[in-house]
Chain A
Amino acid sequence: MKLTALKRLLIAGLFALGLTVMATANPALAGHWQLDTTQSTALDGWNKMDLTIGLDGSKVSVDYRMQWRATVHEATNVFDTDTPVALDEFFRVEQRHMAVYPAKHGVTKAVAKWIDGDKTLLTEALTPVEVSQGDVMMRITTEYRVSETGDRLTVIELHSSRNRPLVYVFNKVTGEDAK
């Protein structure tokens, strides 16, 4: 079959569109989200949690802003839905009253993909943690689900070491809310 210039252009356009759709499968995930503590699993040792999620091609960045009294801690995890990543400073929402710490010089391997008709982001991180018996691996599987109306984000986090998932519910912060 010979491809005409028009057909080539059409195929190239569809391919480009497909890539775009794959990379930003759910643009509603992007934005600033604020934890609704009344709907969420209780934080331990933190008072507040904000997420800012950015989508850039296959890259998904999750910025954390955690607060305990006057102490503010900010961290970012960057995933890639096309390829596994290795993170030197992976941030885990700690239950801070547990003696579980990021392992010194530990490298976290993480993968990400869009699932459920590209509506939900799924990440899986293998992160080394330090406990009293030494360094051990924790697998953290996380789903980021945006509501149909786009104003609520539910983050479900399951640890290989914990039978009960941690469920964090966020409300979208719009420009008006932020003022």
Chain B
Amino acid sequence: MNLIKRYITLAAMVAMLGTTTVFAAEQPESGKNYGVDAWFIHFDLDWNVNGGLPEKALLVSLQGLANRNAPQLYIVHPPEFQWEITGPLFDFYQRKHGVKFHELQSADAALTQFKDVAKGYVVWDKNVGASLNVAFTIAGVEDVVVVSEELIPLVEQHGLKQFDDLRGRYTGKTDAEIYQDAYNKYWDRCAKDRVMLMGGNHGAVRMPGMADWGVEQKMFFHDLSANLNNPAHQAELALTRRIFSELEPGGYVFGWHSYGKDTEEQYTTLLSMYGLRMEGLHNLPNLSFNNQFTFTPGFKFTNNHSMPLDAKLMAEEKVYISFVQSDSIGIGVWTKPGRGKLPFGWQVTMNWTEFSPAALEYFHESATPNDYFIGGLSGPGYMYPNSIPADRFPILMKRARELMALLDEHIMEIMDNTAADGNVGNTDLTKETVDAYYREFPDVIGFINGYGPARTRDLRDTRPMISYEYYIDPRRPRDQVAADLNELIALNSKRPYYLLVHVRESNDVNSLVEITKQLEGPIEIVPIDRFLKLAASKKTYTTRYQDPEDPKHFEGFPKE
């Protein structure tokens, strides 16, 4: 080959390499962890302490360790599991992220694959419930898996050595004493911007599906009580408050409160007082896996706005109805029959942009033109705004604005059950809280308030704040739901009437379609963005805030 030929060949190679480089850069399949090899295992629905729980606890602790540096282990739950989307997300990871999944048939197979990520094991005491949470804390900070005694031979077959044994250590001790001991030993080494509230099911069945995330992130696990009304829980409450006070401002409380100790309202009120954010539930699976992916390259959230954001509408003499589902879309109506048949607002857990971007992308990808996403719940996480310290509120809401902009969301949903009783009772916002929202969200279409019905209402410039008029309990007979809605339409006889309906998770859209056929009057079912625009155009509702004389179910916690 002469010099010229060599030059031409070299130039051609350079050109080819350049072309290849350009081509690679344009490939959509270049996201973080694209094409990774990963493993998956199926879970069943047996979470009994004396049944399927021990093996599941072992596997989720192993999952947390295996996923520390890369997405390696994913758990597929049955469609009947509360989080219904692990199956659809499994498909999504293969399709959009090129994940090459390999099935593991058993815990033995999982240990064969991943034993090297664990330095040993810790034994929890099946007779002392809190010991499982202590074991999860140890798993995170010491890189070990958690086992009950019958699983010791299995992990030892894989060469794992015992690191600690909690059997008998906490017998006869209270949960406050157990967690205080764990706090004394491990809190210093745990994450300080997040904590794992591993409560939920209590007793014979427990469901620590989120433990992988806590282990991966070295969180402190507990199910301490926030029950101010139970004299026996005051030591637990004091420790809860100490931990909250030592978390970084704006930190996360992952998981869920214990169904056997306190209420969602008590716990969320308490953490809100410290400016913290709840991110649940206790059984939310696979965050240690989901956290390892970003949005696919080029993906951009575009909401299904039913009109331009600056559109001006004029309400007619009608009854306008809008449906919203706010229990986090992953546990909601999304996978139920009929989605798309009615306009539906979906409250998005905004922090999933950080923890589960693929899940958010999946929801947006599979949205129908009738599905519209809204921000919430109350801010960048689940919190009760009446209880958030005034100096923390602007910082939290700045984060909420940023996330809403990323998600192309223009409606903020607010919920405050500080003074409520489950999904009934006083769910209203004080005027100070309403003022703060109007101040922090100048560009939204409007606000929604409540979970159950509420009566906080306002209209400032073009931004209405409308509370739910009705909450559809999935157990309520459909003919009675229709009768209830018809009664609201009769009692609110001015037109237009704005009837905002909260649809509880596990309702299905098909049944809502049947309800709407039984409604009487000049009905129009509209998307939530249109609903709020109409509510801004002609105000037939009163302005109202929480009245200090209104009955309260809970008067709140004393300030420290």
Contacts and interface: CB of A to CB of B under 8 A. Distances in A.
Q: Do A and B form a real pair?
A: yes
B476 A131 contact: no
B421 A99 contact: no
Interface string A119-144: 00000000001111110101000000
A74 to B, nearest CB: 13
B470 A133 contact: no
A41 interface: yes
A169 B484 CA distance: 20
A92 interface: no
A101 B550 CA distance: 10
A8 interface: no
Interface in B5-39: none
B454 A44 contact: no
Interface residues of B, number: 39
A39 to B, nearest CB: 14
A37 B486 CA distance: 23
Contact of B488 (A69, A99, A101, A104): A99
Interface stretch (A54-62, A77-85, A160-168): A160-168
A68 B455 contact: no
Would you call the interface of chain A mostly helix, strand, loop, or mixed? loop
B543 to A, nearest CB: 11
Interface stretch (B240-248, B408-416, B490-498): B490-498
Nearest to B483: A164
A71 interface: yes
A69 B491 contact: no
Interface in A150-170: 159, 161-164
Contacts of B486: 162-163
B476 A44 contact: yes
A42 interface: yes
A98 B542 contact: no
Contacts of B541: 132-133
Contact of B455 (A101, A138, A163): A101
A95 B486 CA distance: 13
A58 B166 CA distance: 70
Contacts of A68: 421-422, 424
A7 B31 CA distance: 107
Contacts of B471: 97
A159 B457 CA distance: 26
B493 A136 contact: yes
A69 B422 contact: yes
A125 to B, nearest CB: 15
Contacts of B549: 104
Nearest to A134: B542
B200 to A, nearest CB: 17
A99 B490 contact: no
A71 B486 CA distance: 28
A42 B476 contact: yes
Contacts of B46: none
Given A96-B452, A162-B487, 11 more contacts: A44-B476, A44-B480, A68-B421, A99-B455, A99-B468, A99-B488, A104-B549, A131-B492, A132-B469, A132-B542, A136-B491
24 contacts: A42-B475, A44-B473, A44-B476, A45-B452, A45-B473, A71-B553, A97-B453, A97-B484, A98-B484, A98-B487, A99-B468, A100-B491, A131-B488, A132-B469, A132-B541, A133-B492, A133-B493, A133-B541, A136-B493, A138-B491, A161-B490, A161-B491, A162-B487, A164-B479
Interface of A: 41-42, 44-45, 68-69, 71, 95-101, 104, 129-134, 136, 138, 159, 161-164
Pick the 6 closest A-B CB pairs, nearest first.
A99-B453, A161-B490, A97-B471, A96-B424, A162-B487, A99-B469
